[in-house]
Amino acid sequence: MKEKATSFDIAHIAGVSQSTVSRALNNSPLVNLETRQRIQQIARDLNYKVDKNASNLRKQKSNTIALLLFEDPTSDDSMINPFFLSMLGSITRACATAGYDLLVSFQNLDDDWHAEFEDSNKADGIILLGYGDYTAYRTKLAQLEEQGTHFVRWGAHDENHPGVSIGCDNYQGGRDVTEHLIGLGHKTFAFIGDAQSHAPEFQARFMGYQDALKKHGLLCANHRQFNAISTEDAGYEASQLLLNEDNLPDVIVCASDLIALGVLKALRQTSFRVPEDVAVVGYDNIPVSAFATPALTTVRQNTKRAGELLVTTLIKAINKEPVEDYLMPAELIVRQSCGSK
């Protein structure tokens, strides 16, 4: 009986590595189309059949990355917030480019998601993407690490956290947008957004904002803060509190674009004009921010780059290559809403 053809045979005939053969047979875009087609032709000629299950068991790889989405407590029960959705899109795309499937699973922070991947061979590694209080799941991350599960976390570096993190510099983003506003001559400020430890992203943005004000001696009498979770409604409601007070600040700094959209909505119902009477800035650069009236000045977290970094870093970890934390710079996007008072 003739021996069954192996991927080694194909690699030999094609003059490429076995991993290139594997990628080509998985139709990975990492192999250029011509080479892919040539390898696929050789495989057909040899009557080669991939035994997917066996091959996955052998290499203990599922060619799948799991994305655990932790419930965004700020979203309503039916929609994903635009920043999350954008990340979901870019991670999906980055996985496709790398030849991986993506297993998306919503989780509650309290659940036993850290045990879920212990015995199963569902995914080669995990991306953790979530809002909220990261400290609540520190012990679970430690368990993941102990059991040798590869994972990458979306968020800022935190020395109390095991594992690798990819994040965007929320402190710098908050500081830069505030410095820009101060440079435009604005003197009095309000900040809308939860600025507490249970919302670490917002808190970092707020600290950057606060430090910029401090540096220019503008903090003491000239600043107010209103709580709001990241929704248009919460921004709208916080604006009502602000509008009920005696004096309008020169500028309202919002912890997210969704909050800023709610603020713009509230201001449209008054005689105050944006940015002439009051400037407004957001954070996230969600797609609609460019189309708001006036167009929102905001801070961009590059979700496309973030998705690519999360996926490529995780794949490196899966392949036992060295990986490290990375904090992407935040990018100020100046549009019309910040004015030039």
- Shortest Cβ distance from residue 44 to a second copy (Å)? 11
Residue identified by tokens 């994972």 is 151
Cα 17 to Cα 30, 41, 47, 315, distances in angstroms:
13, 16, 19, 19
Site for a second copy contains 8 (CB under 8 A): no
- Shortest Cβ distance from residue 332 to a second copy (Å)? 21
Query: Which residue in the set 13, 61, 73, 105 belongs to the binding site for a second copy (CB under 8 A)?
Result: 105
Query: Which residue in the set 58, 291, 320, 322 belongs to the binding site for a second copy (CB under 8 A)?
Result: 291
Site for a second copy contains 290 (CB under 8 A): yes
Query: Which residue in the set 30, 136, 288, 334 belongs to the binding site for a second copy (CB under 8 A)?
Result: 288
Q: How far apart are CA 58 and CA 61, in angstroms?
A: 8
8 Å CB contact between 231 and 258: yes
Site for a second copy contains 318 (CB under 8 A): no
- Three-state DSSP state, 117: helix
- Shortest Cβ distance from residue 194 to a second copy (Å)? 23
Site for a second copy contains 9 (CB under 8 A): no
Size of the residue set binding a second copy (CB under 8 A): 37
Helical spans, DSSP H, in the chain: 7-14, 18-25, 33-45, 52-59, 82-97, 113-119, 138-146, 170-183, 200-215, 232-244, 257-268, 303-318
Which of the stretches 13-21, 89-97, 135-143, 189-197 binds a second copy when contact is defined by CB under 8 A? 89-97
Among positions 54-83, residues that touch a second copy (CB under 8 A) are: 64, 69, 78-80, 82
- Shortest Cβ distance from residue 166 to a second copy (Å)? 18
R_g (Cα) of the chain, nearest Å: 24
Query: Which residue in the set 85, 109, 318, 327 belongs to the binding site for a second copy (CB under 8 A)?
Result: 85
Q: How far apart are CA 227 and CA 237, in angstroms?
A: 10
18-25 vs 7-14: helix crossing angle, rounded to 10: 100
Count Cβ neighbours within 10 Å for each residue of 248-270 and write b for 16 or more, e otherwise: bbbbbbbbbbbbbbbbbebbeee
- Shortest Cβ distance from residue 250 to a second copy (Å)? 25
Site for a second copy contains 293 (CB under 8 A): yes
Is there a cis peptide before residue 29, judged by omega within 30 degrees of 0? no
Site for a second copy contains 277 (CB under 8 A): no
Task: Give 53 or 244: the residue with its C-beta nearer to a second copy.
Answer: 53
- Shortest Cβ distance from residue 326 to a second copy (Å)? 19
232-244 vs 257-268: helix crossing angle, rounded to 10: 50
- Three-state DSSP state, 338: coil
Which of the stretches 6-14, 97-105, 153-161, 236-244 binds a second copy when contact is defined by CB under 8 A? 97-105
Q: Which of 273, 278, 271 is nearest to 341 (CA)?
A: 278
Site for a second copy contains 304 (CB under 8 A): yes
Q: Which of 199, 191, 183 is nearest to 260 (CA)?
A: 191
Site for a second copy contains 93 (CB under 8 A): yes
Among positions 120-149, residues that touch a second copy (CB under 8 A) are: 120-122
Site for a second copy contains 104 (CB under 8 A): yes
Q: Which of 142, 166, 145, 160 is nearest to 325 (CA)?
A: 166
Query: Which residue in the set 10, 16, 42, 88 belongs to the binding site for a second copy (CB under 8 A)?
Result: 88
Token pair of 201 as six digits: 């992203």
Which of the stretches 86-94, 168-176, 228-236, 275-283 binds a second copy when contact is defined by CB under 8 A? 86-94
Token pair of 78 as six digits: 């039916």
Site for a second copy contains 119 (CB under 8 A): yes
Enumerate binding residues for a second copy (CB under 8 A): 27, 52-53, 64, 69, 78-80, 82, 85-86, 88-89, 92-93, 95-96, 101-106, 108, 111, 116, 119-122, 287-288, 290-293, 304
